[in-house]
Structure 1
Amino acid sequence: MTPIDRRTFLGAAGGAGALPLLTAAAAGQEADGASAATATALLPYQEESRARRMKWWHDAKFGMFIHYGLYSIIGHQEWVMESEGVPIPDYEKLAGKFMPKLGAAREWARLAKRAGQRYMVLTTKHHEGFCLWDTATTDYNAAKQGAKRDIVREFVAAARAEGLGVGLYFSLMDWHHPDGARCKDDAAARARFVAYTHAQIRELLSNYGKIDILWYDVDWPLTPEQWRADAMNRMVFDLQPDIIVNNRNGLTGDFATPEHRISAADRAWESCMTMNYGWGYQRTDQEWKPARKLVNELTLCVQQGGNYLLNIGPEADGSVPRASVDTLEQVGAWLRTNGAAIYDCDGRAAGAFGNYTNFTRAKDKLYVHVYFWPSQSPAAQVLDALKPETVVAVGGVRTKILSARLLKTGQPVQFTQDAIALRLTGLPDEAPDDPTTVIELTCEGTPYVRHHLIRPEWPRYGVNVGGARSS
């Protein structure tokens, strides 16, 4: 089908006006959340209860994002309606083919549990406008089309059955609604569309019991004032006093949402990331990140005080791609023996960094995450004949180390410490854990690492470390 521009798209939708076509790159809100120009402060009642409401989320560290909708049937990615210029009448025909298998939501929740993820966020409505719940606001929903089931209800029940936090994603932008674009310049259309949007949020937060997270997305094309975002959030907290909300309805919310990058903020934050190049299912995208990469991203988030929301894109029937399942299970297996280096940690190791390591910290423990073992060095094969000792050297540790051990097995690790470096010795030639080995250091007091680079004495020394304040 020949791509069409926004004028033709809106004509098919019954809209008016020639507004610029919004591309993924242009949707700055999707990438960064509320901008400095539009963000406003938390409402007073949010601020007062924020620490209490957010505690479970800070402890959870790791969540599952689920992008699932009509785009999953096409298998081209979640922006396919816009990127391929599909007219609304043609796209609507997909609703009759939306047939998630029974038990799909339970499979998602069980996978999240095995992966060590502690909360889940489902796209209840993405930009395509199709609703996964039984809504009275439109017949364009999963309870009245296709399988004729309330997928949000199934999702909430599945997450609760596994003891996971429940998060609902909701796109403010709506390509299907006839007022979704013309509301920018048409006051009557704006009034209708904002009322429609508020009504949908009210349903989601009224009909499914306790909801832990409301995850807004893309507040285009209106300002916070036009969305009545203050009233929106007030309604949210009236309905769900313990909920937390993100920053993508134009207000600052409870946490920031860097996308496709790990970028610490001066507040609570969560990096949302993908396992390949897309959010929704893409049958041709087989560029999957390995478990080592995912563990590294999780550790970087925790090291800097943030959360890690990792996405899956189920196929048309709700099945999770085998590559996603296998990799998440590898991450979960690693977390079952190394979870103390993730769940128990704060963000106070944010300044520590290394060439082949990450660091996390919990009370008097400093965890050295070695994701490139000395024997994996390109020079290792050349040096094998010399039989160098396997050593991990960490520079800049300014706190006295009392003991060291491999976190997975508890095996003690020998070490020496001087003003230049902490040297961990007597290590096995091959990495004792996969995809990352964690060495737990018990410190005399609060761990403190200061920027300091060392030159390895042997090329098989696996770590040149720089660090900074982590007290």
Structure 2
Amino acid sequence: MDHRVARRGFLSGATGAAVALPFGASALPQEHGAPQTSGGPALLAYQERTRADRMRWWHEARFGMFIHWGLYSVLGRQEWVLESEGIPIPDYERLARHFQPRPGCAREWARLAKRAGQKYMVLTAKHHEGFCLWDSKLTDYNAAKQGPRRDLVREFVEAARAEGLRVGLYYSLMDWHHPDGETCATDPAARERFVAYTHGLLRELLTNYGTIDILWYDVTLPLSPEQWRADAMNAMVFDLQPQIVVNNRNGLPGDFSTPEHKVAADKRAWETCETMNLGWGYQRADDEWKSTKRIVNDLTLCVQQGGNYLLNIGPDAAGDVPAESVRVLGEVGAWLKTNGAAIYGARGRAADAFGNYTNFTAAGNTLYVHVYFWPSRTPDAVARAFPGRETVVAVGGVRAKALSARLLKTGEAVRFTQDAVSLRLTGLPEAAPDSPTTVIAVECDGPAFVDHHLIRPEWKRYGVGTVD
């Protein structure tokens, strides 16, 4: 898994490293068979013509919840356990008897997402294991006929809608359980059956549950987009759900790209998907939890670069979300209640350079300065050499005139001075007013842009250390 941030100089965690982050191994994501970024036009004229309208809410939402949940949750060793441990399929099938989620667990997830400030939810309706969480007429390997004997997709959709959240469904094209799921690569008859089965399952998902806002494909292996008939697949999807948003992991460009385990801006719409610990599916022994600061700062980085952030939870077989996920999401939500104006609907590309302790988003003429390492006062030892001892947040290269400034946490006005090279926010408290990140809203005389590299030719140079 790759946890690197793609841009220089922004510290996503509380470490001193500039690019690589020590939050896990550097192996390829397990879903590396799926495209993560992709440019170029989509194949459907309708998709191109309607994209701006269909994606307006998505761009404003910024923050969503991913939910990896399936039979693998019974074992509690992540979602790839069938393949990674080489479990015989008849043995794995018996897990369905023990997959008995509590009634109402999906409603609890939706309430958690709402408290966390997330605006949409995406559920793994079918992961690579091939078990369908809905009442399918095409296979008995589903939650309505085995295990819980309930349509878990319907419960999820109704729960998300009850909380006013947008609804997304994940669907893995790759299938380790279906008898044609691998032989389709070389056997034309198997391919015809399996592709028809796949299109049929997607038709069920997009027909039986009312409006679906997002279709999140994953992993095209073992077929090419042409073999999947991906163009016909997307045509069917938009025929059934004209306002849906579709990602790029069926081999076509889709509406948005999907960098995984990293913040990597694309030239078009994009969404980073990330875990709260190391794994996607429930892993009872995985305690490498990301901090609230890390998640808030990654969300800010996504918004600053113009993207969305899809953050995963992995419930256990009963549907219970790990306590640490609940705690951290609650803290993220509390921060967003105060600072949401700096995230939701904020425009990307508010800056082309990061500070040593700051990042930037903007909306209209308001520049939001996100201070993730509070600078505090100048130490006594250097106060004589560096003018002033008060706490100052300084931003070089602000390309707009500041008119006023305030702390989002308290609404308190912030004094400032500004010249050609620097905006200095002064008289700030020694301790950070907010946690894990303090946001200062600066009202400007026009849309603000920050690039401290631009000030190099504007500094007054004094010739210190030169020889006449």
Q: 1:32 aligns with which of 36, 52, 56?
A: 36
Question: Contact 1:31 / 1:259 at 8 angstroms: preserved in 2?
Answer: no
Q: Name the residue aligned to 2:466.
A: none
SS in 1 for 2:425: strand
Q: Name the residue aligned to 1:469.
A: none
Aligned residues: 428
Question: Contact 1:40 / 1:251 at 8 angstroms: preserved in 2?
Answer: no
Task: Note the C-alpha offset of 1:420.
Answer: 2.7
Q: Name the residue aligned to 1:136.
A: 137
Task: Note the C-alpha offset of 1:281.
Answer: 0.7
Question: Contact 1:374 / 1:380 at 8 angstroms: preserved in 2?
Answer: no
1:131-189 CA distance string (max 9 Å, x none) = 10000111111111111111000000000000000000000000000110110011000
Indicate how the Cα distance of structure 1 residues 384 and 320 shifts in structure 2: closer, same or farther if over 3 A, else same.
Answer: farther
After superposition, residues 187-266 of structure 1 pair within 5 angstroms as 187-266=188-267
Q: Name the residue aligned to 1:337.
A: 338
Question: Contact 2:395 / 2:452 at 8 angstroms: preserved in 1?
Answer: no
Question: Contact 2:34 / 2:251 at 8 angstroms: preserved in 1?
Answer: no
Residue 259 of structure 1 aligns with an amino acid whose one-letter code is E
Question: Are 1:89 and 2:90 an aligned pair?
Answer: yes
Percent identity, aligned pairs only, is 70
1:49-103 CA distance string (max 9 Å, x none) = 1111000111111000000001111111111111111111110010111101111
Question: Are 1:114 and 2:115 an aligned pair?
Answer: yes
Question: Are 1:347 and 2:348 an aligned pair?
Answer: yes
Indicate how the Cα distance of structure 1 residues 40 and 363 shifts in structure 2: closer, same or farther if over 3 A, else same.
Answer: closer
1:8-38 CA distance string (max 9 Å, x none) = xxxxxxxxxxxxxxx965743446266x7xx
Task: Note the C-alpha offset of 1:421.
Answer: 1.3
d(CA) in 2 for partners of 1:384 and 1:278? 47
SS in 1 for 2:284: coil
Q: Name the residue aligned to 2:10.
A: none
SS in 1 for 2:210: coil
Q: Name the residue aligned to 1:461.
A: none
Question: Contact 1:172 / 1:197 at 8 angstroms: preserved in 2?
Answer: yes
Indicate how the Cα distance of structure 1 residues 383 and 150 shifts in structure 2: closer, same or farther if over 3 A, else same.
Answer: farther
d(CA) in 1 for partners of 2:367 and 2:33? 36
1:441-467 CA distance string (max 9 Å, x none) = 111112122333999xxxxxxxxxxxx
Q: Name the residue aligned to 2:276.
A: 275
SS in 1 for 2:428: coil
Task: Note the C-alpha offset of 1:380.
Answer: 5.5
Question: Are 1:451 and 2:455 an aligned pair?
Answer: no
Tell me whether 420-429 or 23-32 shows the greater mean CA deviation: 23-32
d(CA) in 2 for partners of 1:324 and 1:381? 41
Question: Contact 1:305 / 1:350 at 8 angstroms: preserved in 2?
Answer: no
Question: Contact 1:29 / 1:248 at 8 angstroms: preserved in 2?
Answer: no
d(CA) in 2 for partners of 1:323 and 1:453? 42
1:388-440 CA distance string (max 9 Å, x none) = 21111111112111111101211000111112311111000100001100001
TM-score (ref. length: structure 2): 0.88
SS in 1 for 2:111: helix
SS in 1 for 2:170: strand
Question: Contact 1:100 / 1:317 at 8 angstroms: preserved in 2?
Answer: yes
Question: Are 1:62 and 2:53 an aligned pair?
Answer: no
Indicate how the Cα distance of structure 1 residues 132 and 365 shifts in structure 2: closer, same or farther if over 3 A, else same.
Answer: same
Tell me whether 414-423 or 123-132 shows the greater mean CA deviation: 414-423
SS in 2 for 1:166: strand
d(CA) in 1 for partners of 2:447 and 2:303? 17
Question: Are 1:75 and 2:79 an aligned pair?
Answer: no
Question: Contact 1:258 / 1:272 at 8 angstroms: preserved in 2?
Answer: yes
Q: Name the residue aligned to 1:297.
A: 298
Q: Name the residue aligned to 2:430.
A: 429
Q: Name the residue aligned to 1:317.
A: 318
Question: Contact 1:33 / 1:250 at 8 angstroms: preserved in 2?
Answer: no
Specify every segment of 5 or more residues in structure 2 that has no aligned partner in the other structure, as ranges: 1-26, 457-468
d(CA) in 2 for partners of 1:331 and 1:184? 44
d(CA) in 1 for partners of 2:41 and 2:86? 35
Q: Name the residue aligned to 1:419.
A: 420
Task: Note the C-alpha offset of 1:355.
Answer: 1.4
Residue 46 of structure 1 aligns with an amino acid whose one-letter code is Q
Q: Name the residue aligned to 2:103.
A: 102
Question: Contact 2:398 / 2:450 at 8 angstroms: preserved in 1?
Answer: yes
d(CA) in 1 for partners of 2:383 and 2:143? 61
Q: Name the residue aligned to 2:155.
A: 154
Question: Contact 2:77 / 2:283 at 8 angstroms: preserved in 1?
Answer: yes
Task: Note the C-alpha offset of 1:309.
Answer: 0.3
Indicate how the Cα distance of structure 1 residues 429 and 194 shifts in structure 2: closer, same or farther if over 3 A, else same.
Answer: same
Indicate how the Cα distance of structure 1 residues 380 and 288 shifts in structure 2: closer, same or farther if over 3 A, else same.
Answer: farther
1:260-306 CA distance string (max 9 Å, x none) = 01111111110001111110011111111111110000000111110
SS in 1 for 2:391: coil
Indicate how the Cα distance of structure 1 residues 222 and 33 shifts in structure 2: closer, same or farther if over 3 A, else same.
Answer: farther
d(CA) in 2 for partners of 1:297 and 1:30? 23
Question: Are 1:358 and 2:383 an aligned pair?
Answer: no
TM-score (ref. length: structure 1): 0.87
Tell me whether 40-49 or 220-229 shows the greater mean CA deviation: 40-49
